[in-house]
Amino acid sequence: MYEVHTTITLKNGTDVMMARKGLITESDIRQVTLDAVVDTGAWCLVINEETRAKLGIEVTGTDTVNLADGGWTDCSTVGLIETWWKDRHYTHEALMLPDSKEVLLGAIPLEAMDLIVDPRVGKLIGAHGDQIVHRLY
């Protein structure tokens, strides 16, 4: 088994909305481009404290989550984050595991951006090629 990594850009979702309203400029949007582990076993985006601080996003609550090793832990929910992969994006909350070394790109943002892992080449691709297909069922 291998890990699939991909480059994503995370933007502060509140900053994005403020820029759309003309309250700040596009260059004022806090963002970070980083390497993420594509984790189809995780249900959401998981970031660490360093990434949260760079984005300047707020903690919105706490949640108890089940970890890959079977253990349970409390972590913070944070948001809003706009996740970009190439020309696709999805706005959402995320989980923050403070001591995590990696950012995990989970199943919900993958599905929302119509992305899958191609096991033949071990990389992330569009599920329907370059065209995004959103299903309502």
- Within a domain: residue 21? no
User: Which residue has tokens 């089940």?
Assistant: 66
Q: Which domain holds residue 35?
A: 27-126
Query: Could you give the CA distance from residue 2 to residue 119 in angstroms, rounded to a whole number?
Result: 10
- Within a domain: residue 91? yes
Model-level pTM? 0.90
Q: What is the mean pLDDT of residues 19-42?
A: 96
- Within a domain: residue 94? yes
- The per-residue pLDDT for 135 is 63
- Within a domain: residue 109? yes
* Neighbour count for residue 79 (Cβ, 10 Å): 22
- Within a domain: residue 90? yes
- Within a domain: residue 93? yes
Amino acid letter, 134: H
- Within a domain: residue 19? no
Who has greater pLDDT, 127 or 91?
Answer: 91
Beta strands 88-96 and 72-85 are: antiparallel
- The per-residue pLDDT for 71 is 85
Supply the CATH number for residue 51's domain.
2.40.70.10
Number of domains forming the structure of the chain? 1
